[in-house]
Structure 1
Amino acid sequence: MKIISLRIKNNFLGWDFDEIKFSSNLTLLVGVSGVGKTQILRAIIDLRSIAKGKAINGFEWKVIFSTVNGTEFVWEGSFDTVEKNELSLDDTEKENQDEKEKSSLISEKLSSKNEVLIERNKEEIKFRDTLMPKLSSHQSMIYILKEESLIKEAFDALNKIEYRDHTRNGMRLRIPNKPLHSLKSNYKTLENIVNSDEDIRTKLYLTFENKLDIFDKIRSRFIDVFPQVENIKIEPLETDDLPKKIAEDIPVISIKEKAVPKWIREDRMSSGMLRTIVHISEIFLANEGSVILIDEFENSLGINCIDILTDDLIHENKTLQFIATSHHPYIINNIPYEYWKIVTRQGGHIRICNASDYNLGKSKQDAFIQLTKILEKQS
């Protein structure tokens, strides 16, 4: 999937943002803290939630996106606004909400190749000009009709929106759905691993155990960033704190540094190292067509890894789309300004502009200095 353009308004929370046009596979949302960069990422995640059948209070959207097959969709709609003291609930709690508490769809429309596939309002629902029976007013038609072939293509694409932070809570003890030894025998080729629904750690484990060349490439890129490292491995967890049957199904990353006799397990390595391994692995192993959202790209990353990671984000995997936020000067200065989207805010309105809209200097240094002055004024 690739998001081509996006416009969002949240009538319940009282904010909106301009249409954003995404012209490359990397977009860096630049701005001071509090201008709405994270809200933009959350709005993109909300699109995935709506496609999965969730109702979002007062949410209005229009998104144009294409699938890996090259099919372009225009999806737009709006939920009514229910005034209430609403908490930010997780997905499980939202599923358990009473139907009366959920917002209803006022409108929804899905088009592709100049054909209107879905069109609904409060009175009626049409699928390819055929009137449909009364269906749930709280669930998107993309979710309800997800088994229809063309709708399924849109549904599958929207479900490739990912927000990942594997280091926020330290070592991430996620047990795969199947035993690791079973997964190893099921996924022996790179194509099968990449297209699987396994998490990125399990994918890395499978490439390591099956001795695939892609693991050598990931290891080499990591050593380019951290030359003191001579090797990486990922193996089942060994610990006395968990039953062996559970521990042996938890893949754990370890690194070997030069002149250091013992391997360093991920819970003892720096968060910057761990997050770098994860990001490099995502570049090479994420599902084709994934949209990966990274909030505050600089968090836990060492400055020595920005150049290499950025180069990989831009050039290595053209089927992925990365949308990241940052207000860190070093990161901004080391990502070419044609990838910047400058985010500013006035009240509840979030404004997004290309760097070219500010007539920044031709050199990277001049552009960065001018951007710094713009952001200083905003703060």
Structure 2
Amino acid sequence: MKIISLRLKNHFLGWDFDEVDFSSNLTLLVGVSGAGKTQILRAILDLKRIANGEAINGFEWKIRFSSVDGNEFVWEGRFDTIETDELFFEEKEKSLLLYEKLTSENAVLIERSQEKIIFNNREMPKLSSNQSMIYILKEENKIKEVYDALNKIQDSDYVTKKSLYYKLPNKPFDFLKEEYKTLDTIVNSDESIYIKLHLVYANKLDIFEKIKSSFTDIFQQIENIKIELLINDLPRFLYRDNLPTQFRVPFIFIKEKDVAKWIREDRMSSGMLRTLIHLSEIYLSNPGTVILIDEFENGLGINCIDILTDDLIHENKNLQFIATSHHPYIINNIPYEYWKIVTRKGGHISIRNASDYNLGKSKQEAFIQLTKILERQS
């Protein structure tokens, strides 16, 4: 999937932004704290939630995107607004879909109003008024392509969440190791990056050595990486019928030069772990994945920003990264044609190309002028 353009309004929370175009491989949302950068990423994740059957109070959207197969779609719709003091009320009362429309190559696939639903030029019987037709019809051939594309949106915030969920496989590891023996099968699986990294390590694939080499180029005091399965008690809310309550999960270990003992990931610096996850995303993510990175600089040292930003631009041919930052070093290391400058006035978020500001021709001039723009907005 590649997001081409997006327009959003949240009538319940009272904010919106006009249509914005995204670069095909990397878009850097630049702005001061509070400008709305994180809200944009959350709204993109909300689109995935809607595609999976959730209702979002007062949410209105229009997204243009292409699938892995190269087909282009426009999906738009709006939920009604229920006035309430509670932000999380969906379980009590769900918003109704006021309208929804899906088009491809000027052909209308789905058109829905409160009165009727048209699918492939045929009127359908009354269906759930709280769920998107993408979710309801996800098994239909053309709709499945859209559903699968929207489910390629991924939140990259593994480290700050510290969630065991990303380490849970869909099956026991002994089965996974036999099922996914090649790089293609691992990359195209639905497993998390943590699981994929373990599988390329366990199957001794060359790509693990490439990831390790990139990592040790950044952290030159590290001489080796390994991944071991350790017994971990699963929290009750993560329990699955096909998994025991005690289950082996992968843990990353690093070996420093002239240090006898290996260092487990929960004793690693957050910057090291986050760097390794980002490198693994670049090499192991499913083609067509849209990876959202909030505050790209969080936990990253100066020594790893150069290599990571270069890899994001040049190594992710089949991926799309949408990242936020207000860190001068990040901004200065990504060419300004990838910048989207985010400002906010009240509830309206403006997103403009760097070229709209007539920034200097050289990278340094553009960065200095951008810094002044952001200073005026802070």
Which of the five TM-score ranges fits, normalised by the shorter chain? over 0.9
Matches within 5 A, 1:277-292: 277-292=276-291
Q: Which residue of 1 aligns with 2:319?
A: 320
| Counterpart-to-counterpart distance in 2, 1:336 and 1:304 | 19
Q: Which residue of 2 aligns with 1:216?
A: 209
Stretches of structure 1 that go unaligned for 5 or more consecutive residues are none
Aligned-residue CA RMSD (Å): 1.8
Rate the CA distance shift 1:123–1:154 in 2: closer, same or farther, 3 A. Answer: same
Q: Which residue of 2 aligns with 1:57?
A: 57
User: Could you say what secondary structure the match of 2:305 adopts?
Assistant: helix
The answer to whether structure 1 residue 231 and structure 2 residue 224 are counterparts is: yes
Q: Which residue of 2 aligns with 1:203?
A: 196
Rate the CA distance shift 1:17–1:239 in 2: closer, same or farther, 3 A. Answer: closer
Q: Of the candidates 162, 166, 170, which is equivalent to residue 177 of structure 1?
A: 170
Q: Which residue of 2 aligns with 1:364?
A: 363
Give the structure-2-normalised TM-score: 0.94
| Counterpart-to-counterpart distance in 1, 2:162 and 2:149 | 30
Residues 224 and 256 in structure 2, CA contact (< 8 A), matched pair in contact too: yes
Q: Which residue of 1 aligns with 2:158?
A: 166
Matches within 5 A, 1:1-379: 1-88=1-88, 94=90, 97-98=91-92, 101-170=93-162, 172=164, 174-237=167-230, 249-379=248-378
Offset from partner CA, 1:266-307 (integer Å, 9 cap, x none): 111111000000000011111111101011101111111111
Residues 197 and 280 in structure 2, CA contact (< 8 A), matched pair in contact too: yes
**How much does 1:69 deviate?**
0.5
**How much does 1:158 deviate?**
0.2
| Counterpart-to-counterpart distance in 2, 1:338 and 1:261 | 46
| Counterpart-to-counterpart distance in 2, 1:107 and 1:326 | 35
Identity of aligned residues (%): 71
| Counterpart-to-counterpart distance in 2, 1:7 and 1:339 | 19
One-letter amino acid of the counterpart of residue 83, structure 1: E
**How much does 1:114 deviate?**
1.5
Residues 237 and 247 in structure 1, CA contact (< 8 A), matched pair in contact too: no
Stretches of structure 2 that go unaligned for 5 or more consecutive residues are 236-243
User: Could you say what secondary structure the match of 1:351 adopts?
Assistant: strand
| Counterpart-to-counterpart distance in 2, 1:370 and 1:132 | 55
| Counterpart-to-counterpart distance in 1, 2:225 and 2:357 | 44
**How much does 1:186 deviate?**
1.2
Residues 233 and 245 in structure 2, CA contact (< 8 A), matched pair in contact too: no
| Counterpart-to-counterpart distance in 1, 2:225 and 2:120 | 53
One-letter amino acid of the counterpart of residue 234, structure 1: I
One-letter amino acid of the counterpart of residue 111, structure 1: T
**How much does 1:171 deviate?**
7.4
Number of residue pairs matched? Answer: 369
**How much does 1:111 deviate?**
0.3
Offset from partner CA, 1:39-61 (integer Å, 9 cap, x none): 00011001001111111111111
**How much does 1:240 deviate?**
11
| Counterpart-to-counterpart distance in 2, 1:58 and 1:64 | 20
One-letter amino acid of the counterpart of residue 126, structure 1: I
Residues 234 and 247 in structure 2, CA contact (< 8 A), matched pair in contact too: no
**How much does 1:172 deviate?**
4.1
Offset from partner CA, 1:56-90 (integer Å, 9 cap, x none): 1111110000011001000011111111122247x
**How much does 1:30 deviate?**
0.3
Rate the CA distance shift 1:137–1:327 in 2: closer, same or farther, 3 A. Answer: same
- 193-202 or 232-241: bigger deviation: 232-241
| Counterpart-to-counterpart distance in 2, 1:274 and 1:211 | 21
User: Could you say what secondary structure the match of 2:103 adopts?
Assistant: strand
**How much does 1:208 deviate?**
0.4
Give the structure-1-normalised TM-score: 0.94
